[in-house]
Amino acid sequence: MYTVIGVFLGLILSVFIFGTLFLIWPRTGKLGINTDTVFCPDCDEKMPKARTPRKINQFLWGGWICPKCGAELDKYGVKIK
């Protein structure tokens, strides 16, 4: 039982490591963690490191709503249309 749980958790961790290390460029993948500082493309406001998700997509995949201009950004700082 513990082996199955360990393998499952190892696979999940592997996916996030792969997404973080290999899908950073062109910054389109939803997997992984963005460790760079993000600025709003409209008003150049620095997004906070700690965030409170306002939408389900932000909760699942990361992202912000700019506190200065209200633009919705993904976790890489690309404006969502």
Quick: pLDDT tens for 30-42. Answer: 776 787 889 999 9
Q: What is the mean pLDDT of residues 51-77?
A: 88
Does the predicted model carry a pTM greater than 0.85? no
Q: Residues of the chain with pLDDT > 90: what percent?
A: 33
Per-domain boundaries in the chain: 2-73
Whole-number pLDDT of residue 27: 59
Q: Given its phi and psi angles, is residue 80 left (phi above 0), alpha (psi -120 to 50 degrees) or beta? A: beta
Whole-number pLDDT of residue 50: 84
Cβ contact 52:64 at 8 Å: no
Whole-number pLDDT of residue 5: 94
